[in-house]
Amino acid sequence: MTLRARLTILYTILMVGILLLFGVAVSLFFNDRVRSQLDQELASAATLVIENIRVDPFGTLVVADQILTSELPANLYVLVIGHSINEIYYSNLPFRPPLDPIGLRTLNTTVRDAQVGNLPLRVRTVPLAVSDRQVGTLQVGLSRDLVVDTQRILFSLTVAGMLIGSVVAALAVWLSTRQALAALSHATASALTITRADDLSHRIPYGGPADDEIGQLISAFNQTLSRLERLFTTQRRFVADVGHELRTPLTVIKGNANLMRRMGCGDEESLLGIEDEVDRLTRLVGDLLLLAQAESGKLILGRDAVELDSLVLDAMSQLRVLIQPGQHLRLEDVDQVLVIGDRDKLKQVLLNLISNAIKYAPGGEVIISLQKTETHASIRIRDTGPGIPPEDLPFIFERFYRADKSRSRSHGPKGFGLGLSIAYWIVHNHGGWIDVDSQIGQGTTFTVWLPLTEKDRRQPDSEQPA
């Protein structure tokens, strides 16, 4: 779930909660106030009525007539009874008495909510006693309609407020976070573009205030990019400088080894060992210089028409010397394909991939094919070697990465882990890509995809001119 959606939900829930609490608090407060006002009115009304009641010498209750003219509230219900509900001394009830049957059962003064039919009442029950002897009971009641109605209105208002409040809160948060978070999404998109383009010279643009949180985040990220760019530039320069510096001594060592052989100094085995190692180091220096140039943008690729079929045959015949006894290198399908690019560099891609296949599939088979699809040429190099472990596959195009370190370093063929990164860079800069499919124990297939020329794209099936 996005941060924006999470914030919207959180604030909406918060708003609903606050409104609910507010509604309940107002309702409780109002209820309490109205009840205590009703209770006060009932208490003073009961006092007024009691003042108009006397007990005759036979112990019978007599309600004076002026009760009708006294200052009682017009909507007050009054009931004066003797020992039972059948002994009614005074009643102005329009319904069957009593007002509150439960109140009648207690011996103390009570104030209670009661319900007569649909009429909600607040009823005060007062036992009437003469010299500690109860002679009757007075009940006065007032309608609770106002309380009930007001509670109903408050409930409706709270629900409506919650609905409106939640919609308003959700809209407000959703809209107000749009601008703030848009800057973050924009920064993320820019950061991804920089990563994909592998170009540390780019910076994330930000038009907002530099001292807000997002401005600070973007500025920190840009500073990191600057630092990384400086580090990479220094590293590249270092590699290029070291490469240049090593070239001359290596040529001198090789020349001297040759001279020693011609002069008959030193034994042949040692001289061959020296020459092998010098050749290896010369290749490493060449690869390092090529990568340094490529990454600094100084390597300019040619744009010639390259016949891939003849390039494949060329590379294969050059590598036949590496084939060991029992190993087979063969060509399967070959379409005639023309691409635009740098012939030497494309040949280097094929040399790196085919020599890897030969190197890692001793005693096995290496099969090459060249095919043309509607838009691309595909060169497939398949071997029946040991395969690449799945955990290494994502990294094999990285510089100096070797999947099986022990094998590559010690007994087996020696490599520096640069061949695939060079091949990747060259193909990538020709507008293509390299696929790899590998199964442990069954072999590895590298497929190089290169875009066809415009002419070839329009006529996918037509024959190429000889």
Interface with ligand ADP by CB under 6 A: which residues?
352, 356-357, 360, 383, 385, 388, 396, 401-404, 408, 415-421, 444
Cβ 171 to ligand ADP, closest distance in Å? 56
Cβ 392 to ligand ADP, closest distance in Å? 7
The residue among 360 and 449 lying less far from ligand ADP, judged by its C-beta, is 360
The residue among 8 and 356 lying less far from ligand ADP, judged by its C-beta, is 356
* Among 365, 366, 361, 355, CA closest to 387: 361
Neighbours of 255 (CB within 10 A): 11
Cβ 358 to ligand ADP, closest distance in Å? 9
Do the strands 365-372 and 328-334 form a parallel or antiparallel pair, or are they unpaired?
parallel
Q: 215-220: long-range contacts (C-beta < 8 A, 24 or more apart)?
A: 217/184, 217/187, 218/183, 218/187
Q: Which amino acid is at 179?
A: Q
The residue among 8 and 421 lying less far from ligand ADP, judged by its C-beta, is 421
CA angle 273, 274, 279 (to 5 degrees): 100
The residue among 158 and 384 lying less far from ligand ADP, judged by its C-beta, is 384
The residue among 344 and 404 lying less far from ligand ADP, judged by its C-beta, is 404
Q: Which amino acid is at 267?
A: D
Cβ 295 to ligand ADP, closest distance in Å? 16
Rounded distance, CA 447 to CA 435, Å? 5
* Among 148, 150, 90, 96, CA closest to 122: 148
Please compute, for residue 393, the number of CA atoms within 13 A of its CA located in the half-sphere on the CB side: 15
Task: Name the phi and psi angles at 330, rounded to 5.
Answer: -140, 160
Which residue lies nearest ligand ADP, judged by its C-beta?
415
Cβ 328 to ligand ADP, closest distance in Å? 15
Q: Measuring CA to CA, how many Å separate 275 from each of 256, 268, 296, 320?
A: 10, 10, 31, 21
Q: CB–CB of 187/221 below 8 Å?
A: yes
Rounded distance, CA 236 to CA 249, Å? 21
Rounded distance, CA 445 to CA 183, Å? 44
The residue among 101 and 417 lying less far from ligand ADP, judged by its C-beta, is 417
Q: Any bridge partners for residue 88, and if so which?
A: 81
The residue among 221 and 401 lying less far from ligand ADP, judged by its C-beta, is 401
Cβ 345 to ligand ADP, closest distance in Å? 16
Q: Which amino acid is at 121?
A: L
| Length of the chain measured in residues | 466
Residue with tokens 């009691």, as numbered in its chain:
50
The residue among 141 and 443 lying less far from ligand ADP, judged by its C-beta, is 443
The residue among 275 and 365 lying less far from ligand ADP, judged by its C-beta, is 365
Rounded distance, CA 438 to CA 141, Å? 93
Cβ 15 to ligand ADP, closest distance in Å? 58
Per-residue tokens: 6:
């999470």
Cβ 351 to ligand ADP, closest distance in Å? 11
The residue among 33 and 405 lying less far from ligand ADP, judged by its C-beta, is 405
The residue among 356 and 378 lying less far from ligand ADP, judged by its C-beta, is 356
Cβ 226 to ligand ADP, closest distance in Å? 30
Cβ 166 to ligand ADP, closest distance in Å? 58
Q: Any bridge partners for residue 340, and if so which?
A: 305
Q: CB–CB of 131/150 below 8 Å?
A: no
* DSSP helix/strand/coil, 377: strand
Task: Name the phi and psi angles at 42, rounded to 5.
Answer: -65, -40
Q: CB–CB of 51/171 below 8 Å?
A: no
Cβ 389 to ligand ADP, closest distance in Å? 9
